Amino acid sequence: MNKDVLIVVPAYNEEKNIENTIKDIKENTAYDYVIINDCSTDSTKQICEKNKFNLITLPINSGLSNVIRLGMKYAYEEGYQIVLQFDGDGQHEAKYINILVDEIKNNNCDIAIGSRFLEEKKKKNIRMIGSKLISLAIKLTTGITIKDPTSGMRAYGKKAIYEFNKNLHLAPEPETLVYMIKNNITIKEIQVKMKERQYGASYLTSLKSIEYMLDTLFSIFFIRNRRSKKEK
């Protein structure tokens, strides 16, 4: 088996989307994938087992961050070179996977972000204002422009996977990008298209998104805005 790229598909209550997502991945790429089921309460697990998908099920529901951390750990232990985060909710299109992965393989960058707004303009709604604020915060602290910091479609190279395994508190969130930039990891954005959610609810609801914004901005300015200490 070629242990090159691992596609991590976090899934929480995605019984309606997961089958199409995996089909999409299988049709477009030959890379290994793993679904990480965050202790779903619906039949996500049964569907995956029925279709013989490569599945990992967490015994306790522990949130998206921990799911990605687990994916990183899994990839690290199994010796994968690149991890690609690909949402199981049907928003992402698998035809862009190869573009992101090639970008890292050609040593252009350590993290490739599938960006919705690299060439296209942002729509004007509250979510996009939040996204702009985070972009501005990243620009202020690191000097680097990231147009779509909240994108859930990212490819991580070897260095980034190592960082994730070294620092247990990194999450797949914008503040981690700041941390990565401060630790000399290069980031590049690639234009992709995303669909609207097909079924089910997202992790982020309205009240939570305010909390999310506060947490993220605070973290960018005060916590991740410095180099990590050298290993003891």
Partner 1 sequence: MSITLRIILIIGSIILFLLCLKKMRKSELKITNGVMWMFGSLILILMSIFSDAVGIISQKIGFMAPVNFVFLIIILFLLIQVFLMNLKIVVLTDKINQINQYIVLMKTKLEKDGEDHK
In this chain, which of 59, 206, 207, 227 binds partner 1, going by CB under 8 A? 59
Task: Give the amino acid at 188.
Answer: K
Edge-to-edge strand ranges of the sheet holding 82-85: 55-57, 32-37, 5-11, 82-85, 154-156, 111-115, 187-191
In this chain, which of 70, 100, 138, 170 binds partner 1, going by CB under 8 A? 70
Does position 2 interact with partner 1 (CB under 8 A)? The reply is no
Distance CA 24, CA 22 (A): 5
In this chain, which of 20, 66, 81, 186 binds partner 1, going by CB under 8 A? 66
Tell me, what DSSP letter sits at residue 91? -
Is the separation of the CB atoms in 1 and 32 below 8 Å?
A: yes
Site for partner 1 in 143-202 (CB under 8 A): 168
In this chain, which of 6, 53, 69, 84 binds partner 1, going by CB under 8 A? 69
CB of 78 to partner 1, least distance (A): 9
Does position 1 interact with partner 1 (CB under 8 A)? The reply is no
| Long-range Cβ pairs for the range 53-61 (8 Å, 24+) | 53/18, 53/22, 61/12
Q: Which stretch binds partner 1 (CB under 8 A): 54-62, 98-106, 191-199, 208-216?
A: 54-62
Q: Dihedrals φ, ψ of 112, to 5°?
A: -115, 125
Q: How many residues bind partner 1 (CB under 8 A)?
A: 13
Query: In the complex, which residues of this chain contact partner 1 (CB under 8 A)?
Result: 56-60, 62, 66, 69-70, 73-74, 77, 168
